[in-house]
Amino acid sequence: MRLLHSLVPALALLASSSALAQGAYPERPIRMIVPLAAASAVDVAARIVTQKMGDDMGQQIVIINQPGASGLIGAEQVARAEPDGYTIGGFNDSVMTMVPSLHSKMPWDILKDFEPVSLVATVEWGLIANNQSPYKTAADLIAAAKAAPGKINYGSGGPGSPQHLAMAMFASQAGISLTHVPYKGATQAATDVASGQIPVAFQGLGTVAALVRGGQLRLIGVTTEKRLPQFPDVPTVSESGLPGFFFNSWFAILAPAGTPKDITARLNAEVLKALADPEVRRKLEDLGFAVRGSSAEELRAMTRDQLAKYARVIKEMGLASD
């Protein structure tokens, strides 16, 4: 994938649109529905990027958090919204590519009911533990779980959330049994790990980086292939307990199906312009995001590929809830 495309083609599309040339869009604030809790990784990234987009477009982009039902509720609001460019969605890949394989009956189709705008960033992940827990590495957790099958709880942002799937994959590969404690959002799960209510969880680093740096959480492993420069002393899960384990997620922007192409092209150009801003990039990278950017078609292809991948994983692991 080409990362952070040249702005010239995107801006050329913007200029060629007659509607945009007349300054017809946007004439009022835009709503971005994020079907996840406030302070979650996607919410944090969305606020950074949309602040810059709104400044450049001359209209505020208002973030509306609509967590619940693993993102189904908020995503449906986007799918059913008027396709006029004034309601868009900020989704993680769980909503787009994991949740559809967890439910036999879906209120929307990710490939038919949405128009892709752009990939924004990938989210690096980590295994977190309470500061008072005995776990210093992934190997410690695996050993403890093998000694007491099913006795160790882990938190997630809800059934089918990436936190849930990451730990389910971890447990399956390690041959251990852990007990899932779902929350209504990733932020609450992270907070309860910090307070000692739950001993461990997988989390996007955008959600927990500040808590880790502030000493409120212990980061015992990252799910990247190599150690992260932001946390150079933290080993990868692969090197410290489970060879070959890798997990990350991503944040993308979509619009309701039927949104005019000139509007989605304008939004795509504004996303790429925001991501090219050094301050936006610095803020995202400091929080553990890898800045990306894509065309609408590249995002559509990614979505299709990930749908197929997670359909296989969820079927193999028996995670479907209905």
Beta carbons of 154 and 141 less than 8 angstroms apart: no
pLDDT in tens for each of the 322 residues of the chain? 444 544 444 444 444 444 444 458 999 999 999 998 888 888 999 999 999 999 999 999 999 999 888 789 999 999 999 999 999 999 999 899 988 988 878 999 999 999 999 999 998 899 999 999 999 999 999 999 999 999 999 999 887 788 998 999 999 999 999 999 999 888 899 999 999 999 999 998 888 988 999 999 999 999 999 999 889 999 999 999 999 999 988 999 999 999 999 999 999 999 999 999 999 999 998 887 889 999 999 999 999 999 998 888 888 877 776 5
Q: How far is CA 194 from the centre of its chain?
A: 21
Q: What are the backbone dihedrals phi and psi of residue 200, each rounded to the nearest 5 degrees, phi first?
A: -145, 165
In this prediction, residue 315 carries a pLDDT of 85
Cα–Cα dist 237/187, whole Å: 22
Cα–Cα dist 145/59, whole Å: 51
Closest C-alpha to 41, from 99, 121, 101, 100: 121
| pTM of this structure | 0.77
Cα–Cα dist 155/202, whole Å: 8
Beta carbons of 123 and 248 less than 8 angstroms apart: yes
**N- to C-terminal Cα distance for the chain?**
35
In this prediction, residue 321 carries a pLDDT of 66
Cα–Cα dist 171/242, whole Å: 10
Domains of the chain as residue ranges with CATH: 7-123+249-317 (3.40.190.150), 124-222 (3.40.190.10)
Cα–Cα dist 143/172, whole Å: 14
